[in-house]
Structure 1
Amino acid sequence: MRAAGVKPVRVLIADDQELVRAALRVMLERRAGLLVVGEACDGEQAVAAAFDLRPDVVLMDVRMPGMTGVEATERIVGDWPHDGPRPRVLVLTTFDLDEYVHACLRAGASGFLLKNGSSDQLAEAIRVVAAGEAMLAPTVTNRLIDAFAALPPALLTRPPSPEAGSDRTGLLDTLTRRELEVLLLVARGLSNAQIARSLELSETGVKSRVNRILTRLGLENRVQAALVAHEAGLLGR
């Protein structure tokens, strides 16, 4: 069901279990504004389908045969062959502090979603990441950041060098005081609307500042910005 004149969010489902893909498709196709454009049963298919179909959001399972969700996420985000915007990757997980989930976020995923969540949560998560925000629940943000900040670099397909991490932390000096305040609230898992209310700004103003923060720090998304804030010790202030 789609409202007339409203462009739907186009979704690619990547999961190695056919029953899971079928259930997700049925769940999403009942939601206004969401359109399933394809399915993939492993990471290699997910990359090929993403490059071919250009969805807005990829629902990415982590543990799949062959190419994992981590590798597929990195390929989709890092090797995007088109001029247009890359899909946002929403990781599907049981969230038992799975190291691959954290590596997937480092690789450029826009957030994570519990597999046992409700259909309302799934639909909302897709809309949130499609709009350019991260799907990070405030109650688990600090736990998540602490866990994947401690990951050994070997878990990443193309791990960043220590020098790159230090450079990004040093670039915090280029941010204004207000941008640092926004970054801190991003790191705590707040949405643009929540940040706007907290700092008495407009949502447009918050979005503009978030985009400037990502550009200045050379980051892909809010999740990576939260990691930089954590590594710089902002959350302890």
Structure 2
Amino acid sequence: MKILWVDDHELLCVALSEYLQTHASELSATPIDVTPVFTLARALEEVNKTPSPDLVFLDLNLDDENRGAATLEHFQAGNPSKVPVVVCTGLTPGNDQEVEILRMCMRDYAARGILLKGGAHKKMFIGLSRILGGELWIPEEVLLRFARSTPAPSASRNEHHLGLSPREWDVGRCIARGLSGKQIARELNVTEGHVRQVSCVIYDKLRVRNRVEAALRVNAELGGGSGPDKGSS
């Protein structure tokens, strides 16, 4: 697997690249080759080479002109092969404005996941492993902020959203809030087995692979977003 790691903090970029290669056997079933680059211009050169990278980790603040979601927008405009991009950022889920930047990256610019530089190392390691395994990954604290900052829907809009039945929609909204199967069962007064069955139906109807992708679809619907498919692609 060929990976491009883009960060203007050169020491950090090189250190993360070396860490990824050193722990490749723990993170991925295939060998990993990581190329660290420090500017957006160089990243665009690399992503257009043949063969192109299989995955890109992109910092959002590279220089004075490329900051926030605009960095991902500029990169995706020069990414004709649609190489998957994971946002690796120092933004924090405790800041409303920064949460909206992360939401834009997922919803509008097709990010394949989020890694927080300031998060716990163990969580980042888990996220790396899931991403390298082909999953979409968003830290739980970010997902919870996505749910909390989404306006509540009116009762008349709850039914048959995204093709889900009222009961499936109830479970879907709980998934979007980051609740576990046990917590959902307790809140809806059903069994955990029922929650698992309904969750599988939801994944099938929404054409998603896991809880994170389902949560993104439901959150986009709750917010009235114009492109929920982009957030889960």
Range class of TM-score, shorter chain: 0.5 to 0.7
Go from structure 1 to structure 2 and tell me whether the alpha carbon gap of 1:110 and 1:181 turns closer, same or farther (over 3 Å shift): farther
Provide the C-alpha distance between the structure 1 equivalents of 2:37 and 2:114, rounded to a whole number of angstroms: 18
**CA deviation after TM superposition for structure 1 residue 183, in Å:** 3.1
Which residues of structure 2 form unaligned runs of 5+? 152-157, 185-191, 225-233
Report the equivalent of 1:103.
104
Q: Match of 1:100, as an amino acid?
A: I
> Within 5 Å, which residues of 2 pair with 1:86-235?
86-95=83-92, 96-97=94-95, 98=98, 99-106=100-107, 107-130=109-132, 131-137=134-140, 139-147=141-149, 172=161, 174-177=163-166, 179-181=168-170, 183-189=172-178, 199-201=194-196, 209-210=202-203, 212-213=205-206, 221-222=213-214, 224-231=216-223
Q: CA deviation at 1:39?
A: 2.3
For 1:124, the aligned partner's letter is: I
Q: 1:162 corresponds to which residue?
A: none
**Alpha-carbon offset, residue 25 of structure 1:** 1.3
Tell me which residue corresponds to 2:188: none
Give the 3 Å change call, closer, same or farther, for CA 69–94 of structure 1 in structure 2. closer
Once the two structures are superposed, the pairs formed by residues 21-32 of structure 1 within 5 Å of their partners are 21-31=13-23, 32=25
* 32, 36, 45: which one aligns with 2:42: 45
TM-score with structure 2 length normalisation?
0.61
- CA-to-aligned-CA distance 1:175-233 (integer Å, 9 cap, x gap): 345653553244123689x99x664537xx95774364158xxxxx556424324326x
Distance 2:104 2:135 in 1: 20
Compute the TM-score of the two structures, normalised by the length of structure 1. 0.60
Give the match for residue 4 of structure 2. Answer: 12
Q: Secondary structure at the match of 1:201?
A: helix
Q: Corresponding residue for 1:81?
A: 80
**Rg bigger for which structure?**
2
Which stretches in structure 1 are left out of the alignment for 5+ residues? 1-7, 151-168, 216-220, 233-237
Cα 1:86/1:201, change in 2 over 3 Å: farther
Contact 2:3–2:34 (CA<8 Å) still a contact in 1? Answer: yes
Instruction: Give yes or no for contact 2:44–2:75 (8 Å, CA) kept in 1.
Output: yes
SS in 2 for 1:227: helix
Q: Percent identity?
A: 20
Q: Distance in 2 between matches of 1:171 and 1:44?
A: 45
Change (3 A) 1:76 1:206: farther
Q: C-alpha root-mean-square deviation of aligned residues, in Å? A: 4.1
CA distance in 2: counterparts of 1:191 and 1:141, whole angstroms:
13
Preserved CA contact (<8 Å) 1:59 1:92: no
Secondary structure at the aligned position of 1:37 is classed as strand
The alignment covers a number of residue pairs equal to 195
Residues 211 and 80 of structure 1, relative CA distance in 2, 3 Å threshold:
farther
In structure 1, distance between residues paired with 2:179 and 2:48: 31
Cα distance in 1 between the residues matched to 2:11 and 2:207: 38
